[in-house]
Every structure is written in structure tokens, then in C-alpha cells.
Chain A
Amino acid sequence: GAVVSQHPSWVICKSGTSVKIECRSLDFQATTMFWYRQFPKQSLMLMATSNEGSKATYEQGVEKDKFLINHASLTLSTLTVTSAHPEDSSFYICSARPSATSYNEQFFGPGTRLTVL
């Protein structure tokens, strides 16, 4: 149980284009999902917290107009990197916390490797 998927697993795009990454909780409902970014040999950096049906909460220093988050259902959140540039190249990971109140844990997706040329 508690499986989270991400699509795509990797993407290469040209500078200036937009890229959408999907995060789905497959066997549970998640009121809250999270988006992280990870650079090589570094830990996870929280970008934003996504709540179903409301606006995402962005961490300090994260541009909300560049990283658009939509959490339209209890099983799907999307991250759109708009007008991507080479410095946006990174490993993006989502996580989901089950809506059931007995859970505090977050369960992570397999990640999406974004390379911007």
C-alpha cells in the first residue's frame, strides 16, 4: 500500500518551454501533497505544499509564477515548470500524505529527472 507514482520519470526540453509533471497517489487519497527538488548528493528541498482544492503554499525563495502547482483531486497534483531554463534542471520528487488522520508519514514518488537544454 501507499504507492505514489510520477510521470514522466525523465524529460528533456528546450530552454523556454514549459514542462508538466504529474504526481498520483495510487491506492490512497491525499489531501496534502508536497513537491521537492533535489540536487546531486544533496538532501531534499521542499518547494511547496499542495492542498486539494486550494492554492499551494510556497517555501521562501520559490517563484510561484514559475512553478505552478495544481491539486485538483485527492489523488493528483501537478507541477508545471514554466519557461524552463538550464538552471531548472534537477530531480523533482513529490510526496503524498494519506488523508486518514492516523498517518503523519509522507510517501514519495520515484522522482522526475528534468534536463533543460
Chain B
Amino acid sequence: EDQVTQSPEALRLQEGESSSLNCSYTVSGLRGLFWYRQDPGKGPEFLFTLYSAGEEKEKERLKATLTKKESFLHITAPKPEDSATYLCAVQAGSSASKIIFGSGTRLSIRP
């Protein structure tokens, strides 16, 4: 069965304190791994798509990396406005078009 597990469930950092969020996956034939950001009461905002192990993508203070078993979302020198829930999702070869979401990591950045 395809599964996506995110850790930690919640993370509190001081402004400027870099860290990483983890997304472990078990899928049959990965077609894509996606990272989204979700603010309270809003829909998820697309951040990155990764397709193959070794791939990396960056956007401002965020960098996403991918291995054959997991993905990391690295956040460098975060600011309070980076506080949000970060969701990881995968599209498996067997699932046609739908994607499977992890439970998310709630990130809080203290000024």
C-alpha cells in the first residue's frame, strides 16, 4: 500500500535557526513528489515537484531534495512569515492521477 509519512508533526524554531522537514514514502513507481505550504484556513500553495532521486529544487529560503525513500525540505534562516503547515504528497505509478498526502509538519518560527 502506498504511504507517505512526515516528521516531525510540529516544529518550533527561532528566527534564523535552520532545520529540515522529512517526508518518507513507500510507493510503487514514483511519478512525482510534491511539496505544498498551507496557511490556516486556506488551500495548499504549490512549492516544488521532484521526479527522481538526486534532484534538488530551491525557492528563496527553501530547498527540497529527493532520495529513493525520502524527501527533505530544508529551510535556511527562516523568518516568522515562513510559519505554516508544510505538506508532502506523492503520485504513484499505480494511482492514475491522484496524489497521496502526508499528515503535514506544522512549522512555527518565533521572532
Contact = CB atoms under 8 A, between A and B. Distances in A.
* A and B are interacting partners: yes
Interface of A: 2, 4, 6, 32, 34, 41-44, 46, 49, 91, 93, 95, 97, 104-111, 113
Given A43-B87, A43-B103, A108 B98 contact: no
Interface of B: 31-32, 34, 36, 41-46, 49, 87, 91, 96-99, 101-104, 106
Contacts of A32: 97
Given A104-B31, A104-B91, A44 B49 contact: no
Return the 7 tightest CB-CB contacts between A and B, nearest first.
A108-B43, A104-B32, A43-B103, A108-B44, A111-B43, A110-B43, A43-B101
A98 B31 CA distance: 16
B43 A109 contact: yes
A49 B97 contact: yes
B107 to A, nearest CB: 14
